[in-house]
Structure 1
Amino acid sequence: MSVQEGSWGDLLGGKNLALAVALSGGVALHAINIYIATTVLPSVVNEIGGLDLYAWNTTLFVVASILGSALTARLLASSGSRRAYAVAALLFIIGSLGCAFAQSMPMMLAGRALQGLGGGFLFALCYAMIYAVFDEKLWPRAMALISGMWGVATLLGPAVGGIFAEMDAWRAAFGMLVPVTLLYMVLVWLVFPARNHEEATPVGKLPVVQLLLLTAAVMAVSTGSMSSAPVINIAGVIVAIVLILFLIRQEFTSETRLLPRNALRFNSPLLALYITIGLLVIGMTSETFVPYFLQVLHGQTPLLSGYLAALMAAGWTVSEIWSSGWQSRGINRAIISGPMVVLVGMVILAFSLPVHAQGDWTVLSFICLGLALVGFGIGLGWPHLLTRILQVVPDEDQDAAATSITTVQLFATALGSALAGMLANMGGLTVPGGTEGSSSAAMLIFAIMAAAPLLAIFSAKKVIVRQ
């Protein structure tokens, strides 16, 4: 399906400009926070400990974001856009303060969970409002703009986190998010009306069972990842697979669904779209440990390691903006070639990142190339994959389709982070630890998780066939 292409001038002109800034600002805040946390986390571990729970900072954050995403449609319908954003901002602020004052890793994880819940609302609200405030011809551009905020985050997040980390003041990096969030709330309050017509649409019951199964599946992998014993790791994965199968069965039999109706049937165009998106995101979550590996194996400062790790998001932003205006065959080429580029990047990282080079810029150049390729490959087809989800569902499922984008993306992020944590501990991150453990952990993470973009090549082919 194709629609008349809208221009960047249409999106960023007139009354659309304020709306575009307000929507993209929520994603920017969410993304900047992620890169701040990723950059300062090695410093956090050095001060309060908890290396064995390193990946849980991402996992709990994203699991909570999934819950926020799932509740977004209900929050919009009951409260309107202004109050919905206010709730999201309040949770985000409380979580940021919890991180800033954390004295142990469990306290840090509690703060990250609250940040995730508020961030999930912010993230999903932006996607949910796209089709409500913009014409369909502007959806690809709006998707690209909102996702392009990850590029802004690659500039600001590592800078904020890195500077504060090098000053031994990582707590202040979380604390400064509070006034920024308050300023964003003022902007939203000025731009959005108290309630839009679309927000008054009744929403169905919350799919509680599916959400519990989804959360339990991620936590099963995360719990298993705490051990370096392969048997326990594998047991966690098996439990997660069983829970996901129960989730799929529940989606077929329940009147209350997490995804649009019939989305998980083999002949559904949505299934191939969700699988492709999920696999691409899982491949990208391998970046969870990149700042730590860069500091331990390559002798980089927190600031520089944060910026190098952010090359994935930078590549994503560049390619997404570049490809967002493509039409017809260009869209198909973007969707199918994206996973191939990601796979090449993952292979390069599997060979270069584990090398104990301590500042050798020949090795670092390959690492930079691999990171940029992974992000670039994801961004190529991303706006078209998301737009196609909104295009293939009937009008009555638009709400579910919009929120499902965030749900699938966040679930894949949480699952990928949990898998990365499992592979890191299996590879020796904590035992034997040090450079030897970090090197073997880096090799295992990127070698195994390269399977995700490889499988995405096949699901992307189905997306093209079923368009």
Structure 2
Amino acid sequence: MFLTGFAALAVVPTLPVAAQELDGVALFPLVAGCFVAASLLGGVLGGDWADRSGARRPIMAGTVLAVATLVVSGLSTTVWQLAAGRFLDGLAAGMITVAVNAAIAQNYPEHLRPRALALLSTCWIVPSLVGPPVAGLVAEWSSWRTVFLGLAVLTALPAIAVVFMLRDRAEEVPYRKRQSAEEVPYEKRQLSEETVTVAATVSHRPGLLLAAAVSVGAALGQYAASGWDTTHLVYAVAALALLGVFAPRLLPPGTLRAVRGLPASVLLRGLASGVFFTLEAFVPLMLVTVREVPPVQTGLAFTGAAVCWAGAAWVQSRWLGRIPRHHVVVAGALLLGAAIALAAVGTLPSVPPLTAAPAMVVAAVGMGLLAPSLTLLSLSHTPPDRQGYASSAMQTTQNLGQIVVLGVASALFNAALGAGASELPGYTAAFALLLVPTGLVVLLAARARANPA
């Protein structure tokens, strides 16, 4: 996760420079969005693979692919090759993230899982502090290609070490060794009615063709955002059709209806992630383009958000273990609501320009509490041999939430601009929209609560 986070955050500042040099500025939304689109497919692939043969192999494959994609991107001669590299990078990142979550579920006892998830969050602290500024300096002093190829060299040896360590592990999936009837007492083998329902719901494995169709729909949506002519409108319609038809089939049945248990947990993750990443996109954009805040100060807000997310994840793992997880989800959603209010106040011309900057930090604290809690709830609702599927579903809704919520907020923002309003009212409207998914998380959190012991 540290290698994944470092590579992901380090290349972000160089992507605009690379797109400009490759004469592909108009296609930049596609370059940026390919990562998210491919992680949908990677998550499904990694989850299915982890359920069938354990998390070890998808982690190994994703780690090797992550290094290869840096070489593909660094040697790009066209913007389309750069987009292909970002697509492969998203595939690797999705596979690794889901497989790591499945590994925690398969190997760690339940009381240690919150700490393991908190450790994953801390893996992003150093990359967020070091990656973007160092990559920016390297790109300025040398070339954006040096950033990609240098990261490939730096991560190659650790990646090889990971592969060799995992290769020596036992072949058998851990949960299979624990599930024999001779070793498990009869009373421990009894399943609640809800668990039986969940086992039936997730007994199917989503086809990779379904995941590929959803990824293509997400990529088409990103490409459609690069223009406003008839051609781009056609791509937008095609994207909506693909996502509308295939995305629900990729999720646990009942997700869109917030059925109790795993479907509700998965839906809440998508709603909350959409709110957070929309704030993360719009707040810095407003600060730099309208409020004229120096980019360095905006970067500090990003760093503070990463540190506070990890800190909140640590708190939930150490001090909030006895509080019902769905209550922690509500607390995190209320903090998201406070961040939205702070961002909306920051759109008022009469307030200081930096007023909206802390919104990113407050939202990160909310997500640090909320995201690990929803992951734990989803695993508690899932049979041992389907925890890779549950992790994949969480990753899928996270990415879909980003695409859908950010897309709707962007449409509202552009509609306000088209009506002749200035940019600040457009930001106000976009932030106000985020109160809807946040309110749904608060209202539906009880439907995700864990089964009574």
The reply on whether 1:407 has 2:399 as its aligned counterpart is: no
What is the rounded CA distance, in whole Å, between the counterparts of 2:347 and 2:231 in structure 1? 27
Gaps of 5+ in 2: 177-202
| CA positional deviation for 1:244 | 2.8
Picking from 112, 118, 122, the partner of 1:148 is 122
Counterpart contact for 1:82–1:195, Cα < 8 Å = no
Aligned to 2:265: 273
What is the rounded CA distance, in whole Å, between the counterparts of 1:338 and 1:237 in structure 2? 34
Large movers: runs of 4+ above 6 Å: 77-80, 229-235
Aligned to 1:6: none
Is the alpha carbon distance of 1:164 and 1:307 closer, same or farther for their aligned partners in structure 2, counting shifts above 3 Å? farther
Picking from 33, 44, 64, the partner of 1:90 is 64
Aligned to 1:8: none
For 2:330, give the aligned amino acid.
Answer: I
Is the alpha carbon distance of 1:209 and 1:49 closer, same or farther for their aligned partners in structure 2, counting shifts above 3 Å? same
Counterpart contact for 1:99–1:174, Cα < 8 Å = yes
How do residues 158-177 of structure 1 correspond to structure 2 at under 5 angstroms? 158-167=132-141, 169-177=143-151
The reply on whether 1:197 has 2:172 as its aligned counterpart is: yes
Counterpart contact for 2:325–2:450, Cα < 8 Å = no
| CA positional deviation for 1:213 | 4.4
CA offset digits 1:38-81 (Å, max 9, x no partner): 33344445544544444333421011112111111454578876
Counterpart contact for 1:345–1:371, Cα < 8 Å = yes
Deviates more, 1:307-316 or 1:417-426: 417-426
What is the rounded CA distance, in whole Å, between the counterparts of 2:134 and 2:225 in structure 1? 30
Aligned to 1:313: 306
Counterpart contact for 1:64–1:113, Cα < 8 Å = yes
For 2:225, give the aligned amino acid.
Answer: S
The reply on whether 1:457 has 2:442 as its aligned counterpart is: yes
For 2:332, give the aligned amino acid.
Answer: G
For 1:62, give the aligned amino acid.
Answer: V
For 2:366, give the aligned amino acid.
Answer: G
What is the rounded CA distance, in whole Å, between the counterparts of 2:148 and 2:406 in structure 1? 21
What is the rounded CA distance, in whole Å, between the counterparts of 1:280 and 1:386 in structure 2? 13
What is the rounded CA distance, in whole Å, between the counterparts of 1:47 and 1:466 in structure 2? 55
Aligned to 2:8: 34
| CA positional deviation for 1:220 | 5.0
CA offset digits 1:116-174 (Å, max 9, x no partner): 11122221221121122211211111112113323333212323333334546333222
Is the alpha carbon distance of 1:41 and 1:223 closer, same or farther for their aligned partners in structure 2, counting shifts above 3 Å? closer
TM-score (structure 2 length as normaliser) = 0.77
What is the rounded CA distance, in whole Å, between the counterparts of 1:466 and 1:347 in structure 2? 34
Task: Work out the number of aligned pairs and report it.
Answer: 422
CA offset digits 1:195-228 (Å, max 9, x no partner): 4411797x97651353244234424533442334
Picking from 363, 367, 385, the partner of 2:353 is 363
| CA positional deviation for 1:340 | 1.9
Counterpart contact for 2:41–2:208, Cα < 8 Å = no
The reply on whether 1:105 has 2:79 as its aligned counterpart is: yes
Is the alpha carbon distance of 1:339 and 1:308 closer, same or farther for their aligned partners in structure 2, counting shifts above 3 Å? same
The reply on whether 1:392 has 2:381 as its aligned counterpart is: yes
Aligned to 1:221: 221
How do residues 58-77 of structure 1 correspond to structure 2 at under 5 angstroms? 58-76=32-50
Is the alpha carbon distance of 1:293 and 1:113 closer, same or farther for their aligned partners in structure 2, counting shifts above 3 Å? farther
Counterpart contact for 2:45–2:208, Cα < 8 Å = no
Is the alpha carbon distance of 1:247 and 1:277 closer, same or farther for their aligned partners in structure 2, counting shifts above 3 Å? closer
Counterpart contact for 1:76–1:199, Cα < 8 Å = no
What is the rounded CA distance, in whole Å, between the counterparts of 1:39 and 1:127 in structure 2? 28
What is the rounded CA distance, in whole Å, between the counterparts of 2:327 and 2:356 in structure 1? 26
Aligned to 1:344: 338
Aligned to 1:376: 365
Deviates more, 1:274-283 or 1:183-192: 183-192
| CA positional deviation for 1:239 | 6.1
For 1:342, give the aligned amino acid.
Answer: L
